[in-house]
Amino acid sequence: MHKLPQISEGEYEVMKIIWKYAPINTNEVTERLTRTTSWNPKTIQTMLKRLVTKGALTYEKQSRVFVYTPLVKEDEYVRQESSSFLKRYYNGDITAMLSAYLENDRLSESDIDSLRSLLSGKARRD
């Protein structure tokens, strides 16, 4: 997997909108984000420009608006970030991470049941 661009928390919020609705124009991105954040339109436009510069987005000018499409796939980005988190905080040891979550009661019974189901399904496939 190739190295994906570093995306800030705010930029990630912009990317989530674009991943979900692409192709999407500046006005639509702004409208959706002003509903869920306190950002002004100029802030959103700045983040869009940064994401283009970083290679996470591309755009096409259609009449008077820019229409954005992602260059980075959401699942690839999430996978990279998850892997980085695991390496950074748990030295790549997923068992240590799950143990920490269990010790701090961060996993509900429902979460544990879901994990059991995932693991038993994986065991059957192998």
Give the pLDDT confidence of 25-81 residue by residue, as tens digits: 999 999 999 999 999 999 999 999 999 999 999 999 999 999 999 999 999 999 999
Q: Which amino acid is at 118?
A: L
Q: Which amino acid is at 56?
A: A
Q: Is the pLDDT of residue 90 over 70?
A: yes
pLDDT of residue 126: 63
Peptide bond into 70 cis (omega under 30): no
Q: Can you list the domains of the chain with their CATH numbers? A: 9-70 (1.10.10.10), 74-125 (1.10.4040)
Predicted structure pTM score: 0.78
Phi, then psi, of 65 in degrees rounded to 5: -125, 155
Q: Any idea what the Cα angle at residue 85 is, between residues 84 and 89, rounded to 5°?
A: 120
Residues 52 and 44: beta-carbon distance below 8 Å: no
